[in-house]
Amino acid sequence: MLALTLPLTGCFDAKVDADKENATSEINIAMMQPPRTGLSPLSDDAFKLSRWSTAETLVNLNAQSNAEPMLATAWEQVDPLTWHFTVRQGVTFHDGSTLDAFAVTNSLQKALEAAPKPRILDGIDLKIKALNDSTVEIGTTFNDPLLPNRLSSPQLAILASDAYKKNGQVVPTGMGTGPFELIKINGSTSAKLHRFDGYWGEKAQIDTVNVEYVPNGFSRAAALRTGTADIVEAVPVSQIATIDSELLYEVAMPRTNTLYLNNKSKVFSQIALRKTAAAAINKQQIVEMVYENHADIAQGLFGPALTWAAPLRPEAPLLDKSLKANGETIVIGTFTDRAELPEVAALLKQQFEAVGFNVKLDIREYAQIENDALAGKFDAFILSRATVLDSGDPVAYMMSDFGCKGSYNLGQYCSKDIDSALYHADLQSLGAKRQQAIIDAEQKILNDYAAIPLLHERVIQGESKRVNNVIRDPSERRLINQQTQVN
């Protein structure tokens, strides 16, 4: 344990030794995963910028996943294929430049031109132009009721023009509009933010935010116990008993732990063997032994955090538990950043071997394994996946993970029937019809055993007693904001 905690306490030691006056206006955060693209907003790193309240979007989603103003004060669908967004006046970027419709257009256009595009734009083509300083026109190729929600994705954050370099790199340092300014990036080790006194809204109550990336779950837990971190992402279930319960907060997440079966692998290209794998899994054992019942058994892709899903879902068919494999060798991949996943992999190995599979495991840090996973180098991959992260609506996640052209299709899955079902769902207005169409598409995916949802996670967030008003956000978009403070 001492060896595991040394790297983290070494990172924070200079801050711990700071004088009392400075210490009262700064906080230390232990994040789970290091950035993969230098904190580019056009990647999943965007969610770090959002959680730190340094980069902002045109639209914000409230707790009910309804769109509300942020950098846009209003929007209107002027015809079935055209929207107008009014840009907030009096907003200054951290570099001193002014937010206007041209800056908004530049950021959104860069996202459209990115390779790969942000997943919220999978299957989406937009035409964007500034009509004047305060109005942005966005044209769609279909009547898209979800466009305002899409524009809330942290991957569509609006940055100052100088953030976008000629080589395609995006450098967010000092380029956002939020209450905290990102002033320093130390690669995959740490980052630092200061309060931005020129913020257009309520000013932040904290002067300095120190961020360390701590992929090792035991080290994150140790940082909370010892007080070297004030806020800790994803405390491992195995460490709960070692920590003061008053420092832990459990949040039911729209996040599903899923086993993606590679539909192009020699083994799982056969639906009979996909069914054999599904029948072999004991989800209850995984929830009890790995998560110590701090999770919910998955009946589908969407769990209790989406309260409308279960009532619409038909009863699951019974699996034939007598199905056996014939010694086929499979490689299951997963990552160490979420401490429970290697344990899940070990249990699945036992369960699959009990029905005749020969199982090998490949477990690394996420940054080291992602490219191989996306390239389809595993027969199966275990992923903890947020299902409504981008737009407050699960269609984008389903298109990304199960669409033929999906940018995060770990299962190498492609079905024209599924694509049609997802396209139909995406055309529906927000509400009951869209929800039913989503569940219909979910059932097609499950019936084809494209992936096997295992459980729905409850994330455990750690907070020291010296911090107040930390955000416990099921959508994982916010962690600190203007109201966050220290005692």
Asked if 301 and 429 sit in the same domain, the reply is yes
Asked if 296 and 351 sit in the same domain, the reply is yes
For residue 280, give the CATH number of its domain. 3.10.105.10
pLDDT band at 6 (very low <50, low <70, confident <90, very high): very low
For the stretch 368-386, pLDDT in tens is 999 999 999 999 999 999 8
Asked if 322 and 359 sit in the same domain, the reply is yes
For the stretch 92-110, pLDDT in tens is 999 999 999 999 999 999 9
Highest mean pLDDT, choosing among 245-259, 262-276, 305-319: 262-276
Per-residue pLDDT, 158: 98
Q: What are phi and psi of 412, to 5 degrees?
A: 50, 40
Asked if 393 and 445 sit in the same domain, the reply is yes
pLDDT band at 21 (very low <50, low <70, confident <90, very high): very low
In-domain check, residue 239: no
In-domain check, residue 81: yes
For the stretch 386-404, pLDDT in tens is 898 677 889 989 999 999 9
Asked if 226 and 364 sit in the same domain, the reply is no
Count: domains in the chain: 3
Mean pLDDT of the chain: 92
Closest CA to 217 of 384, 374, 333, 347: 384
For residue 22, give the CATH number of its domain. 3.40.190.10
Asked if 278 and 405 sit in the same domain, the reply is yes
pTM: 0.75
What is the domain extent for residue 412?
254-458
Asked if 452 and 374 sit in the same domain, the reply is yes
Asked if 32 and 154 sit in the same domain, the reply is no
For the stretch 49-89, pLDDT in tens is 999 999 999 999 887 778 999 999 999 999 999 999 999 99
In-domain check, residue 151: yes
